[in-house]
Structure formats: structure tokens, C-alpha cells
Amino acid sequence: MEHADLIVCRDLSLGYEGQSVLTRLNLRVRSGDYLCVVGDNGSGKSTLLRGLLGLLPPLSGSIQRAAELKEGAVGYLPQQTRAQRDFPATVEEVVLSGCLSRKGLRFFYSAAQRSRALMNMGKLGVLELRGKSYRELSGGQQQRVLLARALCAAERLLILDEPVTGLDPAAAQDLYKTLAYLNKKEGMAVVMVTHDLRPAFRDAGMVLHIGHGGIFLGSPAEYLASPCGRRFKEAAE
């Protein structure tokens, strides 16, 4: 099966107010890829995600996106703030909001969009919570709801920023299993920023390390054998 390019970055530099945070990156994300982005704090990992999402224009170089990504088809799971955790809405309302990009000028959600939301709630195991208040859920349940919301927007690509922050080990393991299933069984491409190296070594096909010493892109085995991989692993343990 041929894997089509979803995002291609060439000699990419990203930053703010003319100041580069990330420089000279060459990266290709294809359908079915699972890429973990790791590295030092403040090295530009979240900045890269903003660039991939089209929220931050390049300072130099280019980001090319497949046509379907320009029309949506990307699910995004950002880091949660305290205000978001206390959001006063039902689980179903939160998940349905992932269909907003598909809603167009219609005032109400369509039957197909509601069906898609129900399907994704079922897939993530939160269908029985659909009428509950989002802010009353546990951290793990909230992340599952947000992932169901992201899937309502996603067709080909999921982008996640530190999705297990604040979760207990069991909930984190559960989320990783779900992401691996979506990637391997449903062909969803996954790009995930994480400080937890275990999913990178277990599930990811490629690891992108962004550090103050430079950029590394390769397989998990190649990363572990590299100087920056060994150094970063020791610091994380």
C-alpha cells in the first residue's frame, strides 16, 4: 500500500516576531505514519505543531499540506488548561464541537455529524457518559472525550500535544493503546509531542528529537543509538 504525503516541510524555520525557535527542519509526514516528537523544554516542539496546523506561518522554508488537510481532516488534541477542564458542557456537546469545521453555515448539526459523534464516543468508550458534565469526569475520561472530539474533525491525521500530562499510569497506558489501534487498524497518521519516551520506543515508527544541540529524525532504534537519544533517555530516567 502506497503511503501518500500529508505534510512536507522543507528547510523550515518557525518562530515569533522574526525570532527563530526552530530552524532548518526537513520532515515528511505520510498517511499511516506514527511520529513522536521529543526533546528539551523550550526547543520548539509545540511551535512545530502550530506550524503543522497552519496556525503559524514559516519564517523561511515551506510547509506543503495535502489538499484534504487544507479542507479540515486534521484532529488536534492540545494541552488542557484548568479553564478547559472546568468547561460547563455535556460530553456529547464537547464531542460534537469537533464537527464545527464540517458544519459550514448550518445552524444545527446534521444527522450524519451526530452519528459520527456517537460512533467516536463509542470507539473511545465514553458513549455511556454522553449526558454527563465534562468537568465532572476524571482526567483520563476527559482525554478520551477530547480524543473523540478530535476524531470528529480528523480524516487522515491526529496531532497531539502532551496528551498524557496529568494522567495516572493506567489512564496513560489506555490512551496509548487507543492511539496505536487508530494508527495500525484504521490507518490514522499520528504526530505526538511527548516527554514520555515509552510510546516512542513501543509504537512510533519515527522519532523527531528537537534539542538545543540540533535535530535528529530516525527510527526509535536509530534514535536510541544516537548521542542525543542516549543523553535524553538518561535525563528522562
Report the pLDDT value the prediction gives residue 68, as an integer from 0 to 100.
81
- Maximum mean pLDDT: which of 81-90, 106-115, 184-193, 196-205: 184-193
Report the pLDDT value the prediction gives residue 127, as an integer from 0 to 100.
94
108-165 confidence digits (pLDDT tens): 788 888 999 999 999 889 999 999 999 999 988 998 999 999 989 887 899 999 988 8
- SS3 label, residue 87: coil
188, amino acid identity: M
38, amino acid identity: V
47-76 confidence digits (pLDDT tens): 999 999 999 999 999 999 998 886 667 899
The residue range of the domain holding 29 is 5-236
Of 193, 226, 221, 216, nearest to 26 (Cα)?
216
Report the pLDDT value the prediction gives residue 108, as an integer from 0 to 100.
74
Q: What is the CATH number of the domain that holds 23?
A: 3.40.50.300
pLDDT above 50 (res 1) = no
Distance CA 49, CA 168 (A): 25
pLDDT above 70 (res 213) = no
Residue 30: band (very low, low, confident or very high) from pLDDT cuts 50, 70, 90 = very high
81-122 confidence digits (pLDDT tens): 665 677 789 999 999 988 876 545 456 788 888 999 999 999
- SS3 label, residue 204: coil
Mean predicted confidence (pLDDT) in 9-19: 93
Q: How large is the C-alpha radius of gyration of the chain? A: 18
Residues 6+ apart with CB under 8 A from 15: 21, 22, 47, 59
pTM of the model: 0.88
The total domain count for the chain is 1
